[in-house]
Amino acid sequence: MKVEQLIRKESLRQQEDLCLIASENHMSEAVLRALGSPLANKYSEGYPGKRYYAGNRIVDEIEQRAIDLAKKLYGVEHVNVQPLSGAPANLAVYSALLAPGDTVLGMDLSHGGHLTHGHPVTLPARLYTFVRYKTTLEGKINYAEMEKLARKHKPKLILVGYSSYSRDIDYERVKSIADQVGALTLADVSHISGLIVTGLLNNPGSVFDIITTTTHKTLRGPRGGLILCKKTFSKQIDKAVFPGLQGGPHQNQIAALAIALEEASRPSFKTYAKQILTNTQILAKALVERNYELCFGGTENHLVLVDLRNKKISGREAQISLEKAGLIANMNIIPDDPAPATHPSGLRLGTPALTTRGFKEKQIFEIVELIDKVLSNSQNNIVIRQVQNQVRALAKTFPAPGELK
């Protein structure tokens, strides 16, 4: 069948290319099996023990298993595992806690924020009033500006958590700012979940009111979402997810999540997460040695954001040239980018997927050499083909899990 052939082609592409997109990873075979299991057949509107359809006794056990694991890993009082992804999770939180017109204080998109944090093209921006803080010239979150804006605008919600910001977050300081103006707090930790549950980055679990996260990035699970919160918000959150925004949850996804959370509970996952941080530090160091400029003054997590202006190449041109060589990265705007979003000045690079394949320091240095070779010869197809051959040799040595046989 045509679609089956295309799936196999994509499986081969993922094996032959090397992924440096910070928001992508490779699931384990166990997680992939759960996604393709008969659980996909089951309709289960409602929550464990409170379903609208019969035949959910086993599904209830699976969903409760995912809930219990997430509560333990993040150190929170309540978890909803039904959001289909990060954007629906954030929308559910907004609808649960805010009234139309309420003010939200969140990060400017060009300084590392996310579309769902109030970008004008999104639905939340049509419903709520978003005010944006930025980073300092040194590349750290501007907490002083956040405090000033909070006092001026009296937001109902203060939002942290980012898609291209490469530093850790001081949740205690944000909470103290929120308390001054009576605001609720939301941390969208989609990118750094796997680093939080292993104790390698700060955990907002005991500090913030609400946490949202996707499950497929550093957590290495299926594409999905979680909402974690204090018990006082549990009924509002659950009602906002179902029946507010969604119907029946995807139980194959929830089962895959439960398996990923089991994997994240093992000592081997912390070893993996530590290697992500080590690899990212090496990535940053090697790039700086080749005169690449890093936004935010470096990195403390799984990604770097590269300002390419001194290399006289746009993020879009870099992305296209790298993809031809089998290196998959994404163009990205930089703080207060003078270029349009369609041809931004930056390139975002991350190490989770490479680390899953077994890459360590030596291989990361090799990757940076290849990146530099491509970007220095972006119009030279002979050089790009040479790099592609080197990429495929590396990829073959370090296969990704889940290859279709």
- What pLDDT, on the 0 to 100 scale, is given for residue 404? 66
Which among 230, 222, 279 has a CA at the least distance from the CA of 256?
A: 222
Condensed to tens digits (0 to 9), the pLDDT of residues 97-117 reads 999 999 999 988 787 778 778
Catalytic residue status for 147: no
Catalytic residue status for 128: no
Quick one: average pLDDT of 299-321? 97
- DSSP assignment letter at 252: H
Catalytic residue status for 188: yes
Place of tokens 């300092």: 136
- Where helices occur in 42-102 by DSSP H, the ranges are 57-74, 86-97
- Where helices occur in 290-379 by DSSP H, the ranges are 315-324, 352-356, 361-376
Quick one: average pLDDT of 78-82? 98
Quick one: average pLDDT of 269-282? 98
Q: What band does 405 get if pLDDT is binned at 50, 70 and 90?
A: low
Distance of CA 20 to the CA centre of its chain: 13
Which among 288, 306, 286, 287 has a CA at the least distance from the CA of 296?
A: 306
- What pLDDT, on the 0 to 100 scale, is given for residue 1? 77
Catalytic residue status for 50: no
Question: Is residue 229 within 8 Å of 35, Cβ to Cβ?
Answer: no
Q: Does the pLDDT at position 64 exceed 90?
A: yes
Which residue is catalytic, options 17, 63, 147, 188? 188
The verdict on pTM exceeding 0.75 is: yes
Catalytic residue status for 45: yes
> What is the overall mean pLDDT for the chain?
96
* 3-class secondary structure, 75: coil
